[in-house]
Structure 1
Amino acid sequence: MKQFLAILGVFVLLYSCSKSDDGPPAPEGANLVFPNENSECTTGVSINNALSQVTFEWSASANTDTYTLSVVNLDTNIPQTISTAATSASLSIEKGTPFSWSVTSRNSNTDQTATSDTWLFYNAGSQTNYAPFPAQVVSPVSGSTIQKSVSNEVTLEWTGSDVEDDIESFEVFFSDQNPPATSLGVLDPGTNTIDVGVLSDTVYYWRITTTDVQGNTSDSGIFDFRVF
C-alpha cells in the first residue's frame, strides 16, 4: 500500500509540474477587417485639408486582453500606435497618402504576443489616381545576415500592389554602397524575384521603384542585408 501511495504521489507531482510548465495560453493573431487590403479608404472624417480621422477595425482574437494598432505612413516610414481593449480604434492620418497597418495581440499574463497580417491602403485625398504602393520586401529580411548559395548568389524577393491594379514595371537597384545606384534592369509586373551575385562578409543595399501605366512611381526605401 505504501508503495502504491508513493507511486501515486509521483504521478500527481509530475502532472502538477507539467501543468505549471505550460504557463498561460499565448494570444492569437487578429484578423484585419477595415480598411481593406490594397484599397482606397474613402470613409475617413475630414479634420482639415491635410488630415482625416480613420477608424480601423479587426476581429477579436483568442486569449487577448489588449490590442496595439500600428499604422505606418509609407511616404515617411513614421508609425502611429494606439493600444485598446476594443476591436477598433481611430487615428488622424494624412490624406492622399499610402499606409500599412497591423494589430498586435497581447495578454497581461504572458510576454508572448501575436501580430496580424499587414495590409496596405491609401487614405483618400483629392487625387483621382494613385501611385503604386511602395514595394514590400519578402527576403532577405532587411537587417538580416544570410548564407549565399553555392553559386555565390542571393535571391531578392518582394511584393507589389496598386489600388488600380495597373503596375507596369519594377526597377531594382542593388549595390554594396548606400544608396544603391546600380540598376538591375526594368522587370515586368509578373516578376518579383531576381538573383544577384554576392561576396562573403559584405553588406548589400537594394531598393525598388514601382511604376504604373499612368507613369506614377513609388520608391520602396532602402533594404540591407549582410552575407556570411
Structure 2
Amino acid sequence: MRVYKIILIVAVLNIGCGKKSVDITIPPPAKAELLLPASNSACTAGIAVSDAESTVTFNWAVAEHADSYELYIKNLLTGTLSKHLSTANQANVTLLKGTPYSWYVISTSAKVPETAQSDTWKFYNSGPGVLSYAPFPAVIKAPIYNQVISTATVELSWTGSSVENNITGYDIYLSSNSSSLALQKSDVKDLFLANIAVNPNTVYYWKVITKDAHGNKSDSGIYQFVTK
C-alpha cells in the first residue's frame, strides 16, 4: 500500500509539471502615416534626371509591426498605377515633371497575412516654368462605379482639392451615352448635385470638371451607375 501511494504522488507531480500550451498572438502591421510629399502640395524637392523627369523621395513614418511596405503611385492624368517595394520607410521614384500624382502605402509583415493601408495623398511634381497648377481631378464619392440605383432621382457627390486652394466651381456632365456626355450643370459650388431625375433600366455615365481662378481645368474621368 505504501508503494502505491508513492507512485500516485509521483504521477500527480508529473502531471502538474507538464508543459502547458501557450497561444501567442502576433499583431498585424499598423497603418503608415504619410510624411512627404505633403498632401495637396507642389513637390519642388525632386532631383532632375532629364528635362521631363525628376526623382522624388517618398517618406512615411515607421509603422508598428511592419517589416516591409508597398508604395503605390498613381498618375492622375493617365490613371496609371505603379507599385514599389521597400523594407525602409522611404523610396525614391522617378516621375514626370508638371504632373499630378496620388500615393499611398500598404504596411506588410512576413509574420501575418493582414496588411494596413495608409491615407491617400495628392501632389504635383513640379516642373520648370510652371506658374500655376491645375486643380487635382475630382474624386468621385457616389454613386460608386457600377452602383445600382433603385430610386427615380440620384445625388452625385465628389471631393475636390488644389495646390493653390483656388477652385471656383465644378461642371457636371451626365448622359446615357458614354461618347457624348451632356452638361448637366455648370459652376456648381457644392460638392454634390442632388435630385437628378433618371430613367429606369439605364446605364448612366458622368464626370466632373474642376475649374480654378486661373482658368485651369481637370477631368475626373468617366464613372457610371445603373438604374433599375
Return the match for 1:105 from 104, 107, 112: 107
Classify the secondary structure of the residue corresponding to 2:64. coil
Deviation of 1:147 (Å):
4.1
Structure-2 change in CA distance of 1:154 and 1:28 (3 Å): farther
Matching of residue 132 in structure 1 with residue 135 in structure 2: yes
The offset of 1:156, in angstroms, is 1.4
Which of 143, 148, 156 lines up with 1:146 in the alignment?
Answer: 148
Cα distance 1:30–1:173, how it changes in 2: closer, same or farther (>3 A)? Answer: same
Read off the aligned partner of 1:107 and give its amino acid letter. Answer: S
* CA–CA separation in structure 1 for the residues paired with 2:53 and 2:184: 38
Q: Structure 1 residue 161 and structure 2 residue 161: aligned?
A: yes
**Residue 134 of structure 1 aligns to a residue in which SS?**
strand
| Aligned match of 1:222 | 222
Mark the CA change 1:120 to 1:182 in structure 2 (over 3 Å): closer, same or farther.
same
Partner of residue 10, structure 2? none
**Equivalent-residue separation in structure 2 for 1:159 and 1:76 (angstroms):** 19
Aligned to 1:4: none
Where in structure 2 are there 5+ consecutive unaligned residues? 1-19
Is the 2:35–2:59 contact (alpha carbons within 8 Å) kept by the matching residues of 1?
yes
Please provide the CA RMSD for this pair: 2.4
Rate the CA distance shift 1:179–1:29 in 2: closer, same or farther, 3 A.
farther
1:55-87, CA deviations, whole angstroms, 9 ceiling, x for partnerless residues?
001111222121110111111111221011111
Q: Which residue of 2 aligns with 1:193?
A: 192
1:46, 1:202 → 2: CA distance? 49
Q: Displacement of 1:197 after TM fit? A: 2.6
SS in 1 for 2:137: coil
Secondary structure in structure 2 of the residue aligned to 1:135: strand
* Preserved contact between residue 30 and residue 107 of structure 2 (Cα < 8 Å): yes
Change (3 A) 1:130 1:192: same
SS at match of 2:55: strand
Q: Is the 8 A contact 2:149 2:225 kept in 1?
A: no
| Larger deviation, residues 196-205 vs 126-135 | 196-205
Q: Measure the CA separation in 1 of the matches of 2:120 and 2:179.
A: 26
Aligned ranges 1:1-228 → 2 under 5 Å: 19=23, 24-126=26-128, 127-143=130-146, 145-149=147-151, 152-179=152-179, 181-189=181-189, 191-195=190-194, 196-228=196-228
Separation in structure 1 between the aligned mates of residue 110 and residue 182 of structure 2, nearest angstrom: 48
| CA distance, structure 2, for counterparts of residue 180 and residue 119 of structure 1 | 32
1:70 aligned partner, one-letter code: Y
TM-score of the pair, normalised by structure 2:
0.83
8 Å Cα contact 1:36-1:119 kept in structure 2: yes
Q: TM-score, normalised by structure 1?
A: 0.83
Following TM superposition, by how much is the alpha carbon of 1:28 offset from its aligned partner in structure 2, in angstroms? Answer: 2.0
Structure 1: 5+ residue runs without aligned partners? 1-12
Partner AA of 2:110 in structure 1: S
What CA distance in whole angstroms lies between the structure 1 residues aligned with 2:104 and 2:29?
15
Paired residue type of 1:205:
Y
8 Å contact kept, 2:173–2:208: yes
Distance (Å, rounded) in 2 between the aligned partners of 1:28 and 1:141: 27
